[in-house]
C-alpha cells in the first residue's frame, strides 16, 4: 500500500533552516510528484510547492520563492523540503502529498511534521 512517512517534529530558532523528509513506499517513486502543503495552527491548508520525482522539476509558491528548496533522492524514494530564514509565522504542520502530475489531486498524504519556530 502507498505510504508517505515523514520525519519527526522540529523546534527551530528564528533565522534557522529546517529540512523535512518524506519517504515513499508502495509505488514507483519516479512515476509521481510530491507536493508540500502546510497548515498553521487552527488555519487552513497552504500549498508550498511541487517537485517531479521523475526529473526534479519544481514549481514553488511565489510567497516562498527564495526560501524553499524541494529535492528528491530516487535511490531511497525520499523527498525533502528545506525552508530557510525561518520566522514565527512558519510554525505549522508540514505535509507531503503525492500527485500524478502538478495539476492532479493529492491522493496520498504523509502524517505531517510539526515545525515550531520560537526563540
Partner 1 sequence: SYVLTQPPSVSVAPGKTARITCGGNNIGSKSVHWYQQKPGQAPVLVIYYDSDRPSGIPERFSGSNSGNTATLTISRVEAGDEADYYCQVWDSSSDHPEFGGGTKLTVL
Interacting residue ranges for partner 1, rule: CB under 8 A:
35, 37, 44-47, 50, 59, 61-62, 95, 97, 102-103, 105-112
Pairing assessment for the beta strands 3-6 and 18-25 based on DSSP bridges: antiparallel
Instruction: Give the residue with the Cβ less far from partner 1, 54 or 106.
Output: 106
Q: Which C-beta is closer to partner 1: that of 111 or that of 119?
A: 111
Cβ nearer to partner 1, comparing 37 with 86: 37
The minimum distance between CB 47 and partner 1, in angstroms, equals: 5
Q: How far apart are CA 95 and CA 20, in angstroms?
A: 9
Query: Closest by alpha carbon to 18, among 42, 48, 46, 57?
Result: 48
For the bound state, the minimum distance from the C-beta of residue 112 to partner 1, rounded and expressed in Å, comes to: 5
C-alpha cell at 28: 514507483
**Rounded Cα gap, residues 22 and 50, in angstroms:** 13
DSSP letter, residue 2 = -
Instruction: Give the nearest distance from C-beta 106 to partner 1 in angstroms.
Output: 6
Q: Which is nearer to partner 1, 77 or 99 (CB)?
A: 99
Amino acid at each position: 500500500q502507498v505510504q508517505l512517512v515523514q520525519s519527526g517534529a522540529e523546534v527551530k530558532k528564528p533565522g534557522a533552516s529546517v529540512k523535512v523528509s518524506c519517504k515513499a513506499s508502495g509505488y514507483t517513486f519516479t512515476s509521481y510528484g510530491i507536493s508540500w502543503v502546510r497548515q498553521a495552527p487552527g488555519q487552513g491548508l497552504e500549498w508550498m510547492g511541487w517537485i517531479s520525482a521523475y526529473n526534479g522539476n519544481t514549481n514553488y509558491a511565489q510567497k516562498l520563492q527564495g526560501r524553499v528548496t524541494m529535492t528528491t533522492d530516487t535511490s531511497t524514494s525520499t523527498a525533502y523540503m528545506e525552508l530557510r530564514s525561518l520566522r514565527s509565522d512558519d510554525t505549522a504542520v508540514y505535509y507531503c502529498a503525492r500527485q500524478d502530475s502538478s495539476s492532479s489531486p493529492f491522493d496520498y498524504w504523509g502524517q505531517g511534521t510539526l515545525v515550531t519556530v520560537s526563540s
